[in-house]
Structure 1
Amino acid sequence: MTDGLMSEDLPWIATECSDGRRVSLLDELVESEFVKLSRPLDIDRFRSIDGLGEAKSIPIDAKRFDAAFATLKLRSCSVHLQRTFPRILQMQYSTTGAIVGFAMDDATSLIINGVEARAPALLLVKGTATCEIVEQQANQVALVNFASIDDRGWPGEADSAQLIVTLADKCEALRTTVGDALMLASHSPETFAQPNVIEHVEESILQAVDLAMAAASPTPEAKRLSLSHYLGLVRKLDEFVADSTGKTLYSADVARQLGVSVRTLHNAVVAIRGMSMHRYMRLRRLWNVRQQLVRGSSAQSVKAVALANGFWHMGEFTALYRELFGETPQQTLSAARKQTGEPS
């Protein structure tokens, strides 16, 4: 850590709840001229972080939605801290240099391209790379996007993503450096604005990543991170589903169209999405229903939207919808119509 960034002046590291759990760093941050915060009120107003690539989320559990993120832009890199929600994330990262992602606590757990990622694992993306991510729980993660990483000697080829495991103390040092930088820029912007401080902060983050990379090695699982056959199948499945909106899809027909057995397609979805093909397809259909209902058109009825998305048992459909979103489909539609001035 560089001079002037003293951790004892930055309270997030030692802040704990009465039961000993660490308070979320995001809850400690405030907006400043350097730190921008986003706390969407609900799942329907959630937007992905700008500047990291193209993202599409499908919620797994939206009842206790509490997502938020903070962004700190430095001279040649940007720091993003995010509290996520249970979801499937289809992410195409894009950077001129590299994106380094890591968990901000040891409780974080997610699956990236079919491989479980836990601390002290780091995600390293160079150039453009697509990642299929499953989060069964809310996580707190940090992503640092470096515009250039020339001559730093970090592993990995261009246009690739890989998981690498560093030493626990190097991961913790990286977390601390990023946390300190966010707290300083948030609570002491006048210090952050002093000459050369931003450059010092950026160099501290780079050095912390350098040390983590030097101690890291690709995991055996990460060598098969691409799982290319299964990834390709799931992406073809998603394209097929997107092109078949409003049509009834049967697993045997879908598998036949993709040129594989139902079992192979099921295994691919389990590996990449972390759930059965049946549950995944149902989840997608429920999310499609929600997106249609929040538009609030008077020409729609809940039953019509449900039927168009393959739900014929209204009682079961309502129960599934309430379990996922914490409200009934009629409540969603009524709220949307109130906002648009349509009669509910």
Structure 2
Amino acid sequence: MSLLDELVESDFVKISRSPDFDHFRSIDGLGRASSIPLGIRDFAASFAMLRLRGCTIYLQRTFPRILQIQYSTTGAIVGLMMDDEASLIVNGMEGRAPALLLVKGTAQCEIVEQHANLVAFVNFDSVDDRGWPGELDRPQVIGTERARFDTLRTTLREVLMLASRSPDTLAQPTVIESVEESILLAVDMAMAAASASDARHLGLSHYLALIRKFDEFVAANAGKALYSADVARQLGVSVRTLHNAVVAIRGMSMHRYMRLRRLWNVRQQLVRADAAQSIKATALANGFWHMGEFTALYRDLFGETPQQTLSALRKNPDRQS
């Protein structure tokens, strides 16, 4: 049983559980986000939120996806993996324990999660004069000492359990202040042993810009069949450069990524379609000419056939991706 399964709602802890991807709710308090699923079988995304005086703690169970998020904070956001199996790619850099994600101000992140993770975030309202590394409006993946990382992870676990199981204790005078100080000290210790992974980030900046232009181009041409050579030409780069950028930032081949985007376009169009729009017409418009293969790819990704998507929509008109 994971920590999130052990938590119960209280006067301090609020829990949001999504029954399926179509009802998935992002964490509003961290910034604007959109997700493209890499698979939604056994979907079990959820998160818990604990608001203290000067910070908010989030514990989230994710799902395999590409996450595009613009983090925004008045102070700093610190993210960390809550189990050793968790891993992800942030702007082309691998993040796993004992690494921390640090964001000050506003920063755009391109994240790939190949499998479900259990992650925690602490959004501090202010972090004046604490001497943490990092630049404003630039995300960083920061490595730290294992023992100090484990101390921070344990502190967050204990705080969440206290707020969930013993809210009366947290409601007592000065307890919240003491809890916040424990969290800040744990982060201070982890940051004191930190080493920012800046060198590779600099080398990836061109790829990041290229992928964002690529996504804008795909979004602007939704419903059209796109081909790698044409896309590369429109972006003013070679196919090889575009492929290398996709592998570095998205963690998959350009072929797989373009197919994923086309499948996601189909699903969004089916969910919004009127009665005159057929599945075959939608598939063909997005470059899928082999209907048997298209149906299999769609089912593997979304756990249902295109026809089942339409049937579920007719039964539940409020269902949206």
Q: TM-score, normalised by structure 2?
A: 0.96
Distance 2:275 2:164 in 1: 45
The alpha carbon displacement at 1:296 in A equals: 6.1
Q: Report the Cα distance in structure 1 between the residues aligned to 2:176 and 2:227, rounded to whole angstroms.
A: 56
SS class of match (1:286): helix
SS for the counterpart of 2:66 is strand
Q: Please point out which of 89, 103, 127 is paired with 1:149.
A: 127
Which residue in the other structure is 1:104 paired with? 82
What is the distance in 2 between the residues matched to 1:116 and 1:339? 39
Secondary structure, in 3 states, of the residue corresponding to 2:19?
coil
Aligned AA (2:314): R
Aligned residues of 2:30 and 2:73 also touching (Cα < 8 A)? yes
| Structure 2 residue matching 1:241: 3-state secondary structure | helix
In the alignment, the residues of structure 1 paired with residue 226 and residue 271 of structure 2 have an alpha-carbon distance, to the nearest angstrom, of 24
Which residue of the partner structure matches residue 7 of structure 1? Answer: none
TM-score, with normalisation over the residues of structure 1?
A: 0.90
Partner residue of 1:159?
137
Matching residue of 1:50: 28
1:225 is matched with: 201
Identify which of 207, 220, 227 aligns with 1:243.
220
Alignment of 1:124-273 (within 5 A): 124-219=102-197, 222-226=198-202, 227-273=204-250
Mapping of residues 55-134 of structure 1, within 5 Å:
55-134=33-112
Matching residue of 1:325:
302
**What SS does structure 2 have at the residue aligned with 1:225?**
helix
SS in 2 for 1:92: strand
Kindly state the Cα deviation for residue 157 of structure 1 after the two structures are TM-superposed. 1.2
Cα deviation for residue 102 of structure 1 reads 0.4
* Ranges in structure 1 where 5+ consecutive residues have no aligned partner: 1-22
Q: Give the secondary structure class of the aligned counterpart of 1:149.
A: coil
- SS at 1:94's partner residue? strand
Matched length: 317
**What residue identity is the alignment partner of 1:329?**
P
Counterpart position of 1:290: 267
Mapped to 2, the partners of 1:177 and 1:240 lie a distance apart of 44
- 1:260 is paired with a residue whose SS is coil
Q: Return the alpha-carbon distance in structure 2 between the equivalents of residues 318 and 331 of structure 1.
A: 11
Q: SS at 1:171's partner residue?
A: helix
Unmatched 5+ residue regions in structure 2? Answer: none
The CA distance in 1 between the partners of 2:7 and 2:263, in whole Å, is 34
Change (3 A) 1:303 1:177: same
What CA distance in whole angstroms lies between the structure 2 residues aligned with 1:332 and 1:182?
Answer: 37
Q: Is the 8 A contact 2:142 2:196 kept in 1?
A: yes
CA deviation map 1:164-201 (0-9, x unaligned): 11111111111111111111111111111111111111
* Aligned residues: CA RMSD: 1.3
Listed one character per residue, the Cα deviations across residues 126-158 of structure 1 (whole Å, up to 9, x for unaligned) are 111111111101110001001110000000111
Q: For residue 124 of structure 1, report the CA deviation from its aligned partner.
A: 0.6
